[in-house]
Amino acid sequence: MIEKKEIVMSGIRPTGFLHLGNYFGAIRNYVKMQEDFDCYFMVADLHSLTTHPDTKQLKANVHRVLAENIACGLDPDKVALYCQSQIFETSELYLYLNMLAYTGELEKTVTFKDKVRQNPDNINAGLLTYPVLMSADILLHRAKYVPVGKDQEQHLEIARTYVNRFNYRYGEVFPEPYAFNYNQELVKVPSLDGTGKMSKSENQMATLYLADEDDVIRKKVMKTKTDAGPTEINSAKPDYIINIFELMKLVSTEAVILKFEAEYNNCTIRYGDMKKQLAEDMVAFISPIRNRINTILKDEQYLKDIMKKGAIKARLSAGATMLKVREAIGLNY
Ligand code: TYM
């Protein structure tokens, strides 16, 4: 008998170039999980419409996100890799879940408040119900694990609320989904200037993109804030120095980190050397991924074929769920 694998689902918006935060918060886990789980990973193009109504770049961005996922090690033969808008069942489930979603709760969501601040001229209803659409993406496959970064944690809490409301009102259909990171807390990769998280569209000089050229990576890392160095043995690190150590932990070896920790503690650290080391370790990490992205992007037909294959697989799973959903609600006349 073939053992049924547990179901995993996640997505990334095509709103710009992917960066180290997307990699360490999400894609690194996708690549590990594809070996042991039944995985559904998608490009969240419908979500991008809530903040990016101009669709001129959308197709190129969708292709880029697909290529970036594959360049990081995702295998389209092992997972369903698809585009959200091609799964029409998403919109139907979104509609039903909207009846279980209270506007007062949605207005309190941190990401909604952030986006209202960033886009004061486009506070559309899609922005408010963003977590409802995201819940639909996840519940459509009855997924149990959702590999995401720390910023998505609240959305997972909301998804669990809708699961419980649905199951209570109409009968048990959905399992509760949980944010997932292998054996650890959820990840938040800080921006290079330490003022927030790395992000696709804000603050590009403080974000390391998977497509950045080597010189650009070096320039961004060398610009990070430091000071004259500690003057007292074992003193506490300022935030911006903690930040550099955090970034180092992502790409440098244990020995390198220990060396700079020791030098910090005995006040011999030279931040210029530390940043040079970090820049070279970042280059070594990013450049092979960038080269693969550029190769994959040249083959548009390959990307279209993958999306088609992914959509067939995802719609099979979505269709089976929607049969259960309609029956549970009583829409089976
Ligand atoms: P998005 O496109 O903003 O980000 C994609 C993934 O990258 C993670 N991430 C980070 N992790 C750590 N540090 C950072 N600085 C950082 N920046 C981004 C995000 O947590 C995310 O995992 N709402 C989602 C897209 C989505 C989705 C879904 C996710 C739509 N439907 C269903 C999971 C399941 C989003 O905007 O991700």
Strand runs labelled E in 88-236:
145-147, 178-180
With 0-12 CB in 10 A as exposed, 13-18 as middle and 19+ as buried, what is 165? middle
Closest listed residue to residue 93, CA positions, set 258, 323, 271, 310? 323
Pocket test for ligand 1, best of 9, 20, 22 (most atoms within 8 A of CB): 22
- Residues near ligand 1 with C-beta < 6 Å? 9-13, 21-22, 24-26, 44, 47, 134, 137-138, 146, 148-149, 151-152, 187-189, 197-198
What are the boundaries of each domain within the chain?
Answer: 7-180+300-329, 204-293
Cα 73 to middle of ligand 1, angstroms: 18
pLDDT tens profile 192-223: 988 888 988 778 899 999 999 999 999 999 99
pLDDT of residue 305: 98
Q: Which residues are catalytic?
A: 115, 197, 200
Q: Two tokens at 307? A: 């999306």
Mean pLDDT for 160-189 is 95
**Distance between start and end Cα atoms, the chain:** 36
CATH class assigned to 204-293: mainly alpha
Torsion, Cα 32 38 43 47, to 10 degrees, reads -110
284: amino acid identity, one letter: A
Closest listed residue to residue 25, CA positions, set 128, 157, 132, 179? 179
Could you give the percent of the chain with pLDDT greater than 90? 93
CATH class assigned to 7-180+300-329: alpha beta
- Which tops the pLDDT comparison, 196 or 231? 231
Confidence band, pLDDT 50/70/90 cuts, at residue 2? low
Model confidence pTM above 0.75: yes
